Amino acid sequence: MGDKEHITINQIADEAQVSIATVSRVMNGNTSVSAERRKRVEEVIQKYNFSPNALARGLISKQTMTIGVVLPDISNPYFSSMFLEIERFSLEAGYTLLLCNTLFGGSSHGIRNTRDEAYYFQMLVEKQVDGVLIIGGQVDLVTVDVNYKQALKRLSDQLPVVVIGKEIEDTNCVFIHPETGQGVTLAINYLYMLGHRQIAFVGGQPNVTITDIRVNAYKSALKELGLSVDERLISLSDYYSKDGYSAINTLVSRNVPFTAFLAINDNVAIGSERALQDLSIKVPEEVAFISCDQFENGEFHIPRLTSINQHHDLLGRLVINTLINIIGGNSSPPKFSLAPELVIRESCGTHLGIKR
């Protein structure tokens, strides 16, 4: 049972022989308290290890020092590394985070939630969080569901919301949309430079903005280089290892030759490589690849993954700062540019000495 004792400000006031107003002042660092009383109060607080009830506090102050973070799947390194960065900054600013995994589209574990994002939104409003951060999920769909959009509007009508993703009109969210196509161009150019002319694209859920943008960037880059686009070289699936595995199998079954491919992220790259190995296709000798989104372990992979660092950590920092600023009343327009960086390692078969 949760029936453990709870000290209140009244008991502290009693024992310290002062009014609750004075105790409150001491707790909030108000200067208008005599040294003697302050000391007395502090001692009693110490003695009972008293911590003020944040509910009561929040009821008056209208802030809970809590921020809601809504994302699809924390077990995905993309989200977890960002979350860590977000938490670090929240902590410094005194905020705590309510994490909501919507498991949109299913996680790597195949787990699915029974509740949708609207449910979480409602809950966050009820709990009076000071703001909400939305990182992926339904916002990322190329065409956003009407109900979702409505839920998002309602949420953003009630509290500050920052979302990582492309703008959804008729809502009051602040949208931060990093350029994610640029890196693809970098990658394609690099592969071209190495002599590759048949380059495939592997992984990523169809109809999700990031997939869309990258596929488009892929096509544009190809055209820019005077290469033709063959739709059969595009094999989408999802964002996990198993999806890289299946995507490669699909791709190979189409019998269109390719000498290199772009994987939507490191997980997909790993699954892809596994699939190629099972098909006795040598990597990187026969097929080179680059991942569009760098995760943690890539540099320990065999071969070490050449991939694009999209600076998720910086992005995380950016969004939490933006949100906290908005909560604080400073609506500083989020100015930023996170130029992606091609990290050349071994999965394209060369070192080039460019290593950095």
Q: Which is nearer to DNA, 126 or 170 (CB)?
A: 126
Q: What does the alpha-carbon distance between residue 148 and residue 169 come to, in Å, rounded to a whole number? A: 12
**Of 356, 248, 347, 353, nearest in space to 298 by CA:** 347
Give the DSSP letter string of 224-240. HTTPPP-GGGEE---SS
Please tell me the count of residues contacting a second copy according to CB under 8 A. Answer: 81
Please tell me the distance from the alpha carbon of residue 47 to that of residue 57, in angstroms, as a whole number: 22
Residue type, 253: S
**Identified binder of DNA from the candidate list 2, 28, 29, 353, rule CB under 7 A:** 28
Site membership for DNA, residue 154 (CB under 7 A): no
Q: Does 77 bind a second copy (CB under 8 A)?
A: yes
Q: Are 208 and 201 in contact (CB under 8 A)?
A: no
Residues 229, 199 contacting (CB under 8 angstroms):
no
The tokens of 274 are what? 């596994």
Contact 73, 101 (CB under 8 A): yes
Main-chain dihedrals φ then ψ at residue 127, nearest 5 degrees = -80, 5
Q: Site for a second copy (CB under 8 A): which residue of 105, 106, 116, 123?
A: 123
**Judged by CB under 8 A, does residue 47 bind a second copy?**
no
Residues 222-261 vs a second copy: string with x where CB under 8 A?
Answer: ------------------xxx-xx----------------
- Give the footprint of DNA on residues 61-80 (CB under 7 A): 61
Regarding 158 and contact with a second copy (CB under 8 A), the answer is: yes
Which among 33-41, 62-70, 224-232, 333-341 is the span making contact with a second copy, rule CB under 8 A?
62-70
CB closer to a second copy, 221 vs 324: 324
| Least Å from the CB of residue 97 to DNA | 21
Cα–Cα distance for residue pair 239/193, rounded to 1 Å: 27
State yes or no: residue 49 binds DNA (CB under 7 A).
Answer: no
**Which residues of the chain form contacts with DNA (CB under 7 A)?**
6, 8-10, 17-25, 27-28, 31-34, 36-38, 52-53, 56-57, 59-61
